Structure 1
Amino acid sequence: MGIDRTRLIPTNASLVGFGGTRVFPLGSITLSVTVSDYPRQITKDVTFLVVDCSFAYNDILGRPTLNSWKAATSTYHLMIKFPMDYGIEELQGNQVAARECYIAILEMEDHQQTMCIEEQQTVVEPVKELEEIALDESNLERTTRIWTLAS
């Protein structure tokens, strides 16, 4: 995005990537984000965590930002609606661009998944036994099984 790294504020937050790997941000930055066109627009300061990894998107707006805008999202319709002083504004996404991003992310996930498999370590030994637990004391046929450690 062409932002100088000296503008980043150090952070000790960590993220879990879509492939399940832990990602450590380079820092955070607060940018002014304007959505839609004048006069039906909204401008808010948004704090982003900046990561150094290949990804199909330049940024991801999270629930806190969307909630502060009082936005309603529909991934099916590729649309965001948010209230304005003069009514409801809506932003329509681009179906072709969304499909290209989706294909790009699938290709990246395959690569990341391969890396995850190589880095996995066994943390716990496999479970040996199942214990049957009654779900309803008045109906002993209603049970479930849970894993237990073998003794």
Structure 2
Amino acid sequence: MLSFSDEDKVGTIHPHDDALVVTLRIGGYDVKRVMINQGSAADIIYPDLYRGLNLKPENLKAYSSPLVSFEGRIVVPKGQVRLPVQTGTDVVEVDFIAVDVFSPYTAIMSRPWLYILGAISSTLHQKVKYPSGGQVLEIVGSQAAARQCLVAAIQHRPEAKTSATADNGL
């Protein structure tokens, strides 16, 4: 059975409201700053990782559904790419949607990946637990990485755009 207890909080700084940020093996490389977001239905790959894996536009399959960013903006994906994600000895093929927008994260792993892996995540406990070979394994989050990503997101200043209300003089 997959569950979390107070023992799972040992080693985390409390109280906190940190995102769950882990290191995963994606495309054969250990990738830091991967956010686990069980509230999302899309596994996302950002430009830093895409370039870091030396992927080219021809590696992408068409993907035309727009996404909504954290800021509520519509993001048009560049395409989709299937990459192996390894946790322990388990490898899951994940269809990542490639986007060309700023993110302090390299990737976002969401419900499709969690479901295929049979995993449960807990931001409170800063862990992902999943069954493998008759045992329960875990991926431990990094609060330091989560906090660095938060600072990077706050410091990032998107291009200044005038709003509709400013244009109307309201």
Q: TM-score normalized by structure 1?
A: 0.68
Aligned to 1:18: 70
Distance of 1:24 and 1:78 partners within structure 2 = 31
Q: 1:60 to 1:120 in 2, by over 3 A?
A: farther
Aligned to 2:79: 27
One-letter amino acid of the structure 1 residue matched with residue 110 of structure 2:
G
Q: 1:23 to 1:88 in 2, by over 3 A?
A: same
Q: Is the contact between residue 27 and residue 49 of structure 1 (CA under 8 Å) also seen in structure 2?
A: yes
Distance of 1:46 and 1:120 partners within structure 2 = 39
Distance of 1:47 and 1:55 partners within structure 2 = 19
Aligned to 1:70: 118
Task: Tell me the secondary structure at the aligned position of residue 103 of structure 2.
Answer: coil
User: Is 1:56 matched up with 2:104?
Assistant: yes
Structure having greater relative contact order (Cα 8 Å, sep ≥ 6)? 2
Greater Rg, structure 1 or structure 2? Answer: 1
How far the C-alpha of 1:28 sits from its partner, in A, is: 0.2
How far the C-alpha of 1:18 sits from its partner, in A, is: 0.2
* Count of matched residue positions in the alignment of Structure 1 and Structure 2: 114
Q: 1:83 to 1:104 in 2, by over 3 A?
A: same
Distance of 1:52 and 1:72 partners within structure 2 = 29
One-letter amino acid of the structure 1 residue matched with residue 125 of structure 2:
H
Distance of 2:163 and 2:135 partners within structure 1 = 51
Task: Tell me the secondary structure at the aligned position of residue 105 of structure 1.
Answer: helix
One-letter amino acid of the structure 1 residue matched with residue 95 of structure 2:
T
Q: TM-score normalized by structure 2?
A: 0.61
Task: Tell me the secondary structure at the aligned position of residue 108 of structure 2.
Answer: coil
Structure 2: 5+ residue runs without aligned partners? 1-48, 166-170
Aligned to 2:28: none
